[in-house]
Amino acid sequence: MGQDDITARQPDAQVASPPVASQDASAKRIGPICLIRLIGKGGMGEVWLGKHELLGIEVALKVLSTGGIDSADPAFIDFIQGAKVAASLIHPGLNKVHHADICDGIPHLVLEYLDGPNLGELIVRHGRLDLPVVRAVVEAVCAAVAHLHQHDRVHRDIKPSNIVLTSDGRIVVTDFGLACATPALSLRQKIGVVAGTPAYMAPETFDGVASARSDVYAIGMTAYFLLTGQNAFGGAFDELRNHHKSTPLDVEPLRGAGVPDGVTDAIVRATSKDVLFRPKTARHVLEVFRRAFDEAGIQAAPRDAMVALLAGPISPRVDAPLRDPAAPSQTAETVSHLAALKREFRDSIQPSKSVAAAPARPVNPVFATQRKAEKRRIRIAYWIATVAGACASGGMVLLIDRNGARLEQWLSTHVAHAKVVMTPGPGNSVTFSRQLPIWEHLVLALMPLGSLVLAGVVFTILLYKTLRGKPLPADSENTRCGWCQHELRGITEPICSECGHRIGDRGPDEEGLVPLNRRPSRRFMIIVLLPVAFLLTTALARFAMKAVELLLFRRLSSLLLENILGFASLFFGAAAVVLLYEASLRLTMTHSGRAWCRGCKAELRDLAKPVCPACGLEI
């Protein structure tokens, strides 16, 4: 197993040593497990190698360092619930949980035994790792932690000593002692417990706040340690807390180790002080690291190379002792400055002038002219389409009223087969009549309604769409993701940190999803809502005007007034259709997968770099 479970707690916390460690290992048993030897010890407890006599396999028994509890204790219920969660998460990169129980008041976990060193021990033996090995490790860790995040679980203690390299070359994430069930996508989920390893803890975790982005921070710090052979920050608990919250990451050791700039930028982004600037989950940071390694031409080390690393010669450790970082680099200064601006913007109710600064470059005059022309076209098209739609609807109603009897006669003669009904009359007379089937009555009743909708909706929308012209993007100074509308500022990769999609990509993504405007369900919803809005608005307007007529114009009631009120109700219905269509058009533009440069307003299409191809403005 080989896990190092040293965990950050309050400086005055006292951890009692479990009784299992003070007894003879050869004679000690816990249930069906015979303990063999102690293989790990730390603040969270002890890890023993054991033999499961019923299953006939070697297991790792983790004995937690807590006081005696029983099955009625709430701590026992929480412990068992956490064990159930861990056991339900099956992934090749996660340490399997076989069993959980309490023996003599001591809770313990029965885990899969991993016959290999953890990465902390490996660094001590071999020094910092090569770039292909680090890529293989980072991808495996990100994939395993992404499985946790997908099930709304946060690990909270990712570090090299909790990552094991097995004898067959697998990378396995261990130690679920601090894992908690929390909304993984939440930015600030208050846990209330300050726990973790200080050298790898995100700034917010020192305040008892944990989320998936806290794990992303720990992954970035772990990658830094693997590439340089040293931690980014050193010192006591309080010093580490201050470093994580305020000291920029020193990237000079990374450059001195020959780490490509793209990989360095990925680590800087993952370890941003501001949680909003980090990738959203482990899956997103995995894509960032993959892209950085691919651009540098570095391939992941194969499985046999990882096995050879275990059997290779032991070299002296090449990293320097823990020290305070040097002066921050330009990249770190930029990220820190952007994070400060983001915090000020988020905490203020009304954005200040310093935050809501003018764009780096003025808006393209051509685009400004197009914007004015679009607003003018929208106003003209609105009134023309609304009036024309009301006239078309009124004309259709008059046409159907005048030809209703002729339509009924045509249906009964050419379409329906009416029954001839004989009705006895006075004396011996008999009256013959034609009885229409039920479906023909439905057709006659719905025909005026359908024609009204056809004229009021289809004609109005087609006319408005023709007169309006091609829509332009929202008039905003900021570049936003076309999938989730997250503001894009100061990014190092053309990837949205909220939804993980490439800027300008219109889908489908790796999960088969497409932006909102390309989804058939949304188109069907709009098709249904437009007729409903027209009929509902027309009916309500008609009812209101009829009430006004009865109250105020009872003596002035005439055919002309009736026609005016009918046209007004149809006008309101057509206006509602145009407004709803314009709203759906705006929603389509903002969730289409498209993004526009804040400087020149050029469309950004599937960018390879976070730079506008038209004006060269950085996002």
Residues labelled as active-site residues: 157
Q: CA 60 to CA 50: how far, in whole Å? A: 6
For residue 44 the two structure tokens come to 């969270």
Q: Name the maximum alpha-carbon separation found in the chain.
A: 125
Q: CA 187 to CA 185: how far, in whole Å? A: 6
For residue 481 the two structure tokens come to 């993701």
For residue 84 the two structure tokens come to 């159930």
Using a CB cutoff of 8 Å and minimum separation of 24, what contacts does 502-505 make?
502/606, 502/607, 503/479, 503/595, 503/604, 503/606, 503/607, 503/610, 503/619, 504/593, 504/594, 504/595, 504/603, 504/604, 504/605, 504/606, 504/607, 505/593, 505/606
CB atoms within 10 A of CB 166: 18
Q: Which residues pair with 109 in a beta bridge?
A: 62, 100
Q: CA 298 to CA 5: how far, in whole Å? A: 32
Q: Give 167's DSSP letter.
A: T
- CA nearest neighbour of 237 among 274, 273, 197: 197
Q: Give me the helix-helix angle, 131-150 and 303-311, nearest 10°.
A: 110
**N-terminal to C-terminal alpha carbon distance within the chain:** 45
Q: Which residues pair with 196 in a beta bridge?
A: 8
CB atoms within 10 A of CB 346: 12
- CA nearest neighbour of 92 among 190, 170, 195, 175: 170
> Could you write out the DSSP letters of every residue in 180-235?
EE--TT-S-EE-----B-GGG--GGGGGTEE-HHHHHHHHHHHHHHHHHSS-S--S
For residue 398 the two structure tokens come to 């008059």
Asked whether 154 and 205 are in contact (CB, 8 A), the reply is no
